[in-house]
Structure 1
Amino acid sequence: GTSYAKALTFNLDEYVGLKHTDEQSYYYFMHDNLFNGIDCPEENIHVPDGSTDDPEKAAADYEAELAKYNVDLQVLGIGSDGHIAFNEPGTPFDSVTHVTDLKEQTISDNARFFGGDKSKVPTKAITQGLASIMRARKIVLIATGANKADAVYGMIKGDVTTDCPASILQKHDDVTVVLDEAAAKRL
């Protein structure tokens, strides 16, 4: 019975080179798993356009649109190397939406979504930057699995460093972290 007719959504990222109709695109995933089942108007749904011939322009346009709004709630996961969105280790904390090269660890981790074939995983993505994410009023990060335990430890107990991009969340005023026992085993 809840209406989402007035909600605005901004996805964190999208692979470069995948069309909206590709089952591994985040546009497709979000529509298949959420948007097709709620009444959020298509014009209120924002996903970076990874299918464009000019991903740099698409990233700049996405950031310009995102910057018009105050994000109330940002939902994150964490990569096994401590990345959030596709902000790989080494991403500057002041980054805004940008095109990034995916690291080998991320490609290997995401191969499971591409039939286990690393060669099918896109090597670039458009992602909200760390500064873009940090503008959100509230952040909820969810992590499951033992393969995330080191990254979770670095995020919560480690130094704030671009070596673990998620560690920047220590500087945010309102973060809730939801973990299973395996992801929390180093805490």
Structure 2
Amino acid sequence: MKVLTFADRAGMGAAAASDIAHALRERLARQEGVRVIFASAPSQTSMIEQLRAMPGIDWSRVTAFHMDEFIGLAPDAPQRFGHWLDLHIFNALPLAAAHRIDPGADPEAEARRYAALLNEAPIDFVCLGIGVNGHIAFNDPPIADFEDALDVKLVELDAVCRQQQYDDGGFDSLEAVPRTALSLTIPRLLRADRLFCIVPGAHKRDAVHGALHGPLSTACPASILRGHGNCTLYLDKEADPDA
């Protein structure tokens, strides 16, 4: 795994956006369309804002997906990750298509529907982060499975993950944070051709240390990124345990 560290969040976001833009241009020059999975979290904002401004990307040939969504929130709840993606990506760019996860009244059926959409063609790129507990998407340590047979599944969020959602400022109380979600699984994410992992902040330092230096274990799900072969990790200095 290639690891790049920058002085601050803005520099990290600029470098990641530049690399993603280059990869998009290069891929679009040799194939009809590109399929990208985006994380939805404050950690991604700097990169996304700068990626939107990058020139020379034919967004009309890019199909976008998101990787996880809370269960049990009202369709118009501002905390839904789909709304974050609408604001920052899906409605801000002239995409070929934007596929949203909508758990609705039957999350299991939605998991199957979304998995089928993902499997219609290869996924080119994933833009992701790492959670405080080392999760990728909503694959928290208690339920993370490196050999998961599913592509999208219903998951229970652990206490550290729910605390992070509250600390990120989206919810008025910890009790208001949903306890379940739909999430892409780890094998589904790893089947993408290239991963861009953007992780700022001192609160992520321990998780990054586990991802880089700890055992390959679901105790830190992000440790599996070391084995992907085409993953770049972008850190600011606060998140880098070796800085």
Normalising by the residue count of structure 2, what TM-score does the alignment of the two structures yield?
A: 0.72
- 1:100 is aligned to 155
Given residue 157 of structure 2, which amino acid in structure 1 is its aligned partner? Answer: L
Unaligned runs of at least 5 residues, structure 1: none
- 1:3 is aligned to 58
- 2:108 is aligned to 56
- 1:29 is aligned to 84
Aligned residues: 184
Deviation at 1:10, TM superposition (A): 1.3
Contact 1:97 1:127 in 2 (8 A): yes
Question: Which segments of structure 1 move beyond 3 Å, counting only runs of 4 or more?
Answer: none
Deviation at 1:154, TM superposition (A): 0.9
Contact 2:134 2:220 in 1 (8 A): yes
Contact 1:149 1:186 in 2 (8 A): no
- Pairing partner for 1:150 from 206, 211, 218: 206
Contact 2:111 2:153 in 1 (8 A): yes
- Pairing partner for 1:46 from 99, 104, 107: 99
1: CA distance, partners of 2:240 / 2:107: 36
- Pairing partner for 1:66 from 102, 107, 118: 118
Compute the RMSD of aligned alpha carbons: 1.5
- 1:109 is aligned to 164
2: CA distance, partners of 1:173 / 1:74: 14
**Superposition map of 1:155-174 within 5 A:** 155-174=211-230
2: CA distance, partners of 1:37 / 1:3: 14
SS in 2 for 1:120: coil
Normalising by the residue count of structure 1, what TM-score does the alignment of the two structures yield?
A: 0.92
Given residue 88 of structure 1, which amino acid in structure 2 is its aligned partner? Answer: D
1: CA distance, partners of 2:235 / 2:74: 32
1: CA distance, partners of 2:123 / 2:205: 28
2: CA distance, partners of 1:177 / 1:6: 26
SS in 1 for 2:189: helix
What per-residue deviation string (whole Å, max 9, x for no partner) do you get for residues 20-41 of structure 1? 4221111111111222221114
Higher relative contact order (CA 8 A, sep 6+): 2
Given residue 150 of structure 1, which amino acid in structure 2 is its aligned partner? Answer: D
SS in 1 for 2:208: helix
Contact 2:125 2:193 in 1 (8 A): yes
Deviation at 1:84, TM superposition (A): 0.5
Given residue 28 of structure 1, which amino acid in structure 2 is its aligned partner? Answer: H
What per-residue deviation string (whole Å, max 9, x for no partner) do you get for residues 69-114 of structure 1? 2111101111111000000103111222111000011111111333
1: CA distance, partners of 2:91 / 2:153: 27
Greater mean deviation of Cα atoms: 133-142 or 13-22: 13-22
- 1:118 is aligned to 174
